[in-house]
A and B are shown apart, each in its own frame.
Chain A
Amino acid sequence: RKEVEQDPGPFNVPEGATVAFNCTYSNSASQSFFWYRQDCRKEPKLLMSVYSSGNEDGRFTAQLNRASQYISLLIRDSKLSDSATYLCVVRPSRNTGNQFYFGTGTSLTVIP
């Protein structure tokens, strides 16, 4: 079983739409969770960390459900510039060093 699993999409949504991505992880002892954004042929960039209580940053809301071992990202009022691949990233444990596990990414295209 993969450490992190994501629906690869693609998701094609109109401007202004709300879209949600989910991600599941296999290691229940995982410590840290992130959403990264990767544009085509570019390096991943941190979008937001995911906290246990859930957190929001503008149009982006991240949720963590430890019991079900999944993470979600909600994007409201989609913009054309939101088109990218969104990577779910999990850090299992401080004891494993700084190793991060990446999902395959979910592709989002926002259509005018």
Chain B
Amino acid sequence: GAVVSQHPSWVICKSGTSVKIECRSLDFQATTMFWYRQFPKQSLMLMATSNEGSKATYEQGVEKDKFLINHASLTLSTLTVTSAHPEDSSFYICSVPGLAGGRGNEQYFGPGTRLTVT
């Protein structure tokens, strides 16, 4: 399957600062990437769909001005949590969809980024 990396894997920041998380598709080009958030003992919740060369599509209830997504190339999407607060502490995971008929229609997940805001 696809190899997806995320950086950083773990970050602690102070309230009010911004944090950038990178998601890279290492072995194939991805026009679409997904950003999920997972709170403890809860399921993954889709935050937004990152589209290469165009604006991201945000799910209902996700503030686009707070969670800035940039998909500048076919292998890199970034999520910036602006003015982070303790309630933003979570596990952020990106994924790359497989290609129908090619790699299949599953998703390949990055290893996740654990954000703790103090």
Which A residues form the contact surface with B (CB < 8 A)?
4, 8, 31-32, 34, 41-46, 49, 87, 91, 94, 97-100, 102-105
Interface digits, B82-118 against A, CB 8 Å rule (1 contact, 0 not)?
Answer: 0000000001010001001000111101111010000
Tell me, yes or no, whether B60 is within 8 Å of chain A by CB: no
Chain A: interface secondary structure?
A: loop
Q: How many residues of B contact A (CB 8 A)?
A: 23
B111→A43 contact, CB < 8 A: yes
A49→B104 contact, CB < 8 A: yes
Tell me, yes or no, whether B61 is within 8 Å of chain A by CB: no
Q: Closest chain B residue to A43 by CB distance?
A: B109
B43→A97 contact, CB < 8 A: no
Closest 8 pairs (CB-CB, A-B): A98-B97, A43-B109, A104-B43, A102-B43, A102-B44, A43-B112, A43-B111, A46-B106
B46→A45 contact, CB < 8 A: no
Residues of B within 8 A of A32 (CB): 105
B110→A43 contact, CB < 8 A: yes
Question: With A and B bound together, what is the CA distance between A46 and B44 in angstroms?
Answer: 14
11 A-B pairs besides A32-B105, A41-B91, A98-B107 with CB distance below 8 A are A34-B106, A43-B109, A43-B111, A43-B112, A45-B109, A49-B106, A91-B105, A94-B100, A98-B49, A98-B97, A103-B43
On whether A42 and B112 interact (CB within 8 A), knowing A98-B32, A102-B43, the answer reads yes
Q: Closest chain A residue to B111 by CB distance?
A: A43
